[in-house]
């Protein structure tokens, strides 16, 4: 999914058959853009903080380091600005709003790659994130809305 301002173009995983069903949502681009905008606001930023960023969903771990597996990664593009957010779609089998996208948007907005900000482990903050996302999820997506009933439903 490429996000440039309010324009989003989907880029699908290499093996769609192994990916969660939500990657086939015809509104994936719009939902990703709306979710990323809402996430940026909860982090204290604006949707403009994501201008020039590309969001890509993968059907595989982003990287592995021995037994450790990277499920999300934010890479800035030097000089030009923006960058790429890579998300392993497997961080949520329910909906994109419950993936680690909120975590990676946090890296972009607050520029804290060492997780020193207290919000990374603040349950109240993640409850607020889940509430903000529930507010934008289409009413017909009951499984996603129920999954995000609390911070327990969002990967962080």
Per-position DSSP letters for 93-144, written without gaps between them = SS-GGGSTHHHHHHHHHH--TT--SGGGG-HHHHHHHHHHHHTTS-TT-HHH
- Residues counted in the chain: 156
Q: What percent of the chain is predicted at pLDDT more than 70?
A: 87
Whether residue 84 has pLDDT greater than 80: yes
What pLDDT, on the 0 to 100 scale, is given for residue 125? 95
At 48-79, the pLDDT tens digits run 999 999 898 887 777 677 777 777 888 888 77
From the centroid of its chain, how far is CA 65?
Answer: 22
Tokens 């996302």 sit on residue: 133
What pLDDT, on the 0 to 100 scale, is given for residue 6? 35
At 16-28, the pLDDT tens digits run 566 788 888 888 8
Q: At what angle do helices 101-110 and 28-42 cross, to 10 degrees?
A: 50
At 109-156, the pLDDT tens digits run 999 888 999 999 999 999 999 999 999 999 999 999 998 887 777 776
- Give Cα separations from 139 to 31, 37, 142 (angstroms): 13, 19, 7
Whether residue 2 has pLDDT greater than 50: no
From the centroid of its chain, how far is CA 155?
Answer: 9
Record the pTM: 0.85
Tokens of 140: 């017909």
Name the helix (H) or strand (E) containing 35. helix 28-42
């Amino acid at each position: 999914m490429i996000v440039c301002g309010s324009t989003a173009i989907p880029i699908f995983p290499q093996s769609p058959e192994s990916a969660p069903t939500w990657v086939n949502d015809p509104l994936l681009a719009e939902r990703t853009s709306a979710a990323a905008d809402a996430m940026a606001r909860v982090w204290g930023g604006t949707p403009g903080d994501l201008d020039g960023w590309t969001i890509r969903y993968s059907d595989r771990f982003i990287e592995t380091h021995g037994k450790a597996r990277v499920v999300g990664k934010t890479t800035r593009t030097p000089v030009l600005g923006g960058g790429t957010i890579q998300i392993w779609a497997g961080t949520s089998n329910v909906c994109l709003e419950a993936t680690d996208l909120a975590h990676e948007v946090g890296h972009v907005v607050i520029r804290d790659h060492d997780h020193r900000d207290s919000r990374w482990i603040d349950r109240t903050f993640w409850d607020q994130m889940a509430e903000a996302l529930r507010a934008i999820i289409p009413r017909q997506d009951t499984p996603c809305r129920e999954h995000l009933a609390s911070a327990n439903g969002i990967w962080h």
